[in-house]
A and B are shown apart, each in its own frame.
Chain A
Amino acid sequence: MTPFTLSRRAALALGAAPLVLPGLARAQAGDPVRLGVILSATGGLAAFVPPIRAGITLAVEEINAAGGVLGGRRIQVVEADDQTNPQAGVQVMTRLVQAENVAAIIGPMASGITIAAANAVSIPAGVPIVSPSATAPAVSQLNDNDTVFRTAVPDGLQGQVLARITREAGIERVAIMAVNNDYGRGLTGSFTAAFQGRGGTVTGSQNFEENRPSYRAELQTLAGRGNPQALLLIGYPASGGNTILRNSIENSFFPRFIMTDGMRDQTVVDQVGARQLEGMFGTGPGTAAAPERRAAYEAAYRRANPNLDPGAAFVAQAYDAAYVIALAIEAGRSADRAAIRQNLRTVANAPGEAVGPGEFARARQLLGAGTKVNYEGASGPIEFNATGDAQGRVEHWAVRNGRVTSVAQLAE
């Protein structure tokens, strides 16, 4: 048995070597910088993921094609799936932070998962995370030691815009079905306050549990009280949203539907029925980008992905998240987590020489010459405020001729 024991010891020693000498393993200049990406590739938000992933890939490919960061190191994406589930989110973030040793993380997508995973993992570890799509107001209130950022615009603004366009559509009485999580509860709160401020009435509001086979009972309870003119649905397509629309339309519970960013997806219209949803409207992540910045991004995106929509929800936000992280690495001349954290605001906010989508090489030259840069992104100017939230616009969209169509970009 002795040789066996020896060889096992040898194997253990070999396996442990990288643990003992992590600095040695990482110090080489040519090693890629690892960038964690947590997306909800399965579960309720899965339909949103393919265009968002393509947006991140595009940004990283542009950065690497322009020579990478820190004198020629490539950015390498390490992707993980949180299954649209907070527990899984905590697990995969732990893996990215501890085992994969990523410098920064893009994601998670959902607010509740972002809050859970940030509190459990990234805040204690000091890893900067930039969510492209966590919109709940509660994300701002995290005691995060300045590690949690988002390129998405918080729902405080979305609730106000939603209330405004709902009143402008002549609707006074609304019933609300909201998913039972931070996103649903937060947006219900901000919408209700703004809607009542404009003289509207919320006839009833329910928080629904995801993934139920039927929502008829809840919908009947809402429809039967206070004579609502429309249903505001705050949820995700695959974890109840489509079922709620189907149940409502089949039983004629509500004549109109209002939706939010979580349901802004063409597959909703395709699955539920274009005829039934024609004329329905809602809000989504907007763009406040200068037209030429937006055009540069859209052209590059379409070249790389002819079949995906650069205007789909949160895609530009995800693209911008990759850019600001890479610029922060370059500005701090370090892929160290604390350095990235400190430099995210520096590269995103004014003042500074404005750089935009596809201009990584120019930005690196400017930074190399000691000039401060200000990233003006594909989704908006990306100015992080004190709580790490981007300022921007909210989109007003509507279903026109069976397509989800952008109507306006609103700032209030």
Chain B
Amino acid sequence: MIELVNFYLIPGLVLGAIYALAAAGLSLAYGVLRFANFAHGELMTWGGYAALVAVVALGISPWVALPIAIAATIPVALAADRAFYAPLRRAQPAVLLISSFGVALMIRAVVYLVWGPTPQGYARGFTPPLVFEGIRIQQRHLMILAGTAIAALLVHLLLSRSRAGRAMRAMADDPDLARVTGVPVAGVIRLTWCVAAALAAVAGVFLAVDTELTPLLGFNVLLAAFAAAILGGIGRPWGAALGGLILGVVEELSTYPLIGGAPLLEPAYKGGVAFAVLVLVLIFRPQGLFKGMG
């Protein structure tokens, strides 16, 4: 039983926390801007590499480099919005979606150009896990779980307590009504990109801390993040975070050897589990767990 916790539940929670951060940023951008931002994965990758630069240049730990990663990722998101999304603001969502894909490829090309395709890591060597009563957990996993909780709390406070957060929610609920009631649309959009980029950078650094940096780092979890966002009800950051946690845990548990030592499911098809869950939820609750927007 302790193995279930150590090797299936805890990795599932860590993975879920990373999905949750990625999905929350994605969902937030969708809510305010009404399009699926395919460049979100590349923003994660960018944040991860920005932290690498800080780690190598300043000799600090990736946790301390988080603010630098965030500060390096926000301008990329704002510049992409200014150059590519703003002129298309009134276009069909499909046009914006495809242009976000183009932005993703541009960012990825720059990452390849600057850092090359070889995998890199923040640190070499290994730290033994902490052990409490038989439960083994890596220190960095504790940090990822705690960091995710803090980020979620900050986003929650922003959205529920601040004037800017209320404006963002107003834009998400009804953009035209928000505009006529005097919500500063351009400012809200900029703020949305800042928050989404910050969440992406944090998710990217966490993912790179847990695995390693490759130019496809963020893109490889983008589909799962989309699934989490839709599962939770697209446009609802809290729903997206919950969706991420559920997907991460379900994916890991699906390979648990419940019967006679053989895994429940061939791990090669683990990625499909997320989408099976998604399909089931959409059949029985088409609006997502929380009521999402169309």
Query: Which A residues lie at the B interface, using CB under 8 A?
Result: 41-43, 46-47, 49, 180, 204, 206-209, 211-221, 224-225, 237-238, 242-243, 246, 249-251, 267, 271, 273, 275-276
> Complex: how many Å from CA A43 to CA B220?
11
Query: A49, A217, A249, A273 — which one has the most chain B CB atoms within 10 A of its CB?
Result: A217
Contact A271 B212 (CB under 8 A): yes
Contact B263 A214 (CB under 8 A): no
Contact A221 B268 (CB under 8 A): no
Q: List 10 A-B contacts (CB under 8 A).
A: A42-B117, A42-B215, A43-B117, A212-B271, A213-B15, A214-B211, A219-B7, A251-B136, A271-B119, A273-B125
Q: Using a CB-CB cutoff of 8 Å, which residues 67-126 of chain B contact chain A?
A: 112, 117-121, 124-126
> Complex: how many Å from CA A273 to CA B212?
13
Contact B136 A214 (CB under 8 A): no
Is B261 in contact with chain A by the CB < 8 A criterion?
yes
Chain B residues bordering chain A, tally (CB within 8 A): 45
Residue of A nearest to B117 (CB): A46
State how many angstroms separate the Cβ of B219 from the closest Cβ of chain A.
9
Residue of B nearest to A219 (CB): B7
Q: Per-residue 0/1 for B50-81: is the Cβ within 8 Å of any A Cβ (1 yes, 0 no)? A: 00000000000000000000000000000000
Given contacts A47-B119, A212-B270, A251-B136, contact A273 B126 (CB under 8 A): yes
Contact B14 A214 (CB under 8 A): yes
Is B267 in contact with chain A by the CB < 8 A criterion?
yes
Is B171 in contact with chain A by the CB < 8 A criterion?
no
Contact B252 A217 (CB under 8 A): yes
Contact A251 B7 (CB under 8 A): yes
State how many angstroms separate the Cβ of B3 from the closest Cβ of chain A.
6
Contact B138 A250 (CB under 8 A): yes
Of B120, B263, B269, the residue contacting A271 (CB under 8 A) is B120
State how many angstroms separate the Cβ of B49 from the closest Cβ of chain A.
15
Contact A250 B221 (CB under 8 A): no
Contact A213 B263 (CB under 8 A): no
Contact B118 A238 (CB under 8 A): yes
> Complex: how many Å from CA A217 to CA B270?
11
> Complex: how many Å from CA A251 to CA B129?
8
Given contacts A237-B119, A273-B126, contact A208 B216 (CB under 8 A): no
> Complex: how many Å from CA A286 to CA B261?
38
Contact A243 B256 (CB under 8 A): no
B187 / chain A contacts, CB cutoff of 8 Å: none
A224 / chain B contacts, CB cutoff of 8 Å: 3, 257, 261
> Complex: how many Å from CA A209 to CA B255?
12
Is B235 in contact with chain A by the CB < 8 A criterion?
no
Of B12, B119, B270, the residue contacting A238 (CB under 8 A) is B119
B263 / chain A contacts, CB cutoff of 8 Å: 206, 218, 221
> Complex: how many Å from CA A249 to CA B126?
8
Contact B220 A218 (CB under 8 A): no
B121 / chain A contacts, CB cutoff of 8 Å: 271
State how many angstroms separate the Cβ of B55 from the closest Cβ of chain A.
15
Is B196 in contact with chain A by the CB < 8 A criterion?
no
A209 / chain B contacts, CB cutoff of 8 Å: 267-271
Contact A221 B257 (CB under 8 A): yes
Is B197 in contact with chain A by the CB < 8 A criterion?
no
A212 / chain B contacts, CB cutoff of 8 Å: 220, 270-271
> Complex: how many Å from CA A251 to CA B2?
14
State how many angstroms separate the Cβ of A158 from the closest Cβ of chain B.
22
Given contacts A207-B267, A209-B270, A250-B126, contact A218 B211 (CB under 8 A): no
Query: A41, A216, A219 — which one has the most chain B CB atoms within 10 A of its CB?
Result: A216
A250 / chain B contacts, CB cutoff of 8 Å: 126-129, 138
